[in-house]
Amino acid sequence: MTHFNPTFSLTVADVDLIESALRETGRAVSVVRLDSASTEPVDLAAVADLDARARQVNDLLGRLHNQKTFFRPAKGTYVGG
């Protein structure tokens, strides 16, 4: 039986590319969603499907963000910006 690979060897550039692709997908879904809302009659099933896709993309972007480790110096005052 097959099983999932628990480890991944992705570079920072790979993760950045994945995030960029997800953001572009989110923008494309949003544009289609706006266009479909302006047509008459509104296809509620299609709108619900687009909303689910947008939610899925945003959820994945959020999970990627939550797995990042941000640098914070061990000594001294942290100045963000």
| Per-residue confidence in pLDDT tens, the chain, 81 aa | 788 888 888 898 999 999 999 999 999 999 998 888 777 787 888 889 999 999 999 999 999 998 888 777 778 787 776
Residue 41 resides in a domain = yes
pLDDT of residue 77: 80
Q: Spell out the residues 6+ positions from residue 42 whose beta carbon is closer than 8 angstroms to its own.
A: 36
Residue 1 resides in a domain = no
The parent domain of residue 40 ranges over 12-66
Residue 3 resides in a domain = no
For residue 61, what are its two tokens?
A: 């972007």
Residue 25 resides in a domain = yes
Residue 19 resides in a domain = yes
Residue 7 CA to residue 11 CA, distance in Å, equals: 13
Residue 79 resides in a domain = no
Work out the angle at residue 50's Cα, subtended by the Cα atoms of residues 48 and 54, and round it to the nearest 5 degrees: 115
Residue 27 resides in a domain = yes
Residue 45 CA to residue 19 CA, distance in Å, equals: 28
Residue 57 CA to residue 63 CA, distance in Å, equals: 10
What's the structural domain count of the chain? 1
Residue 6 resides in a domain = no
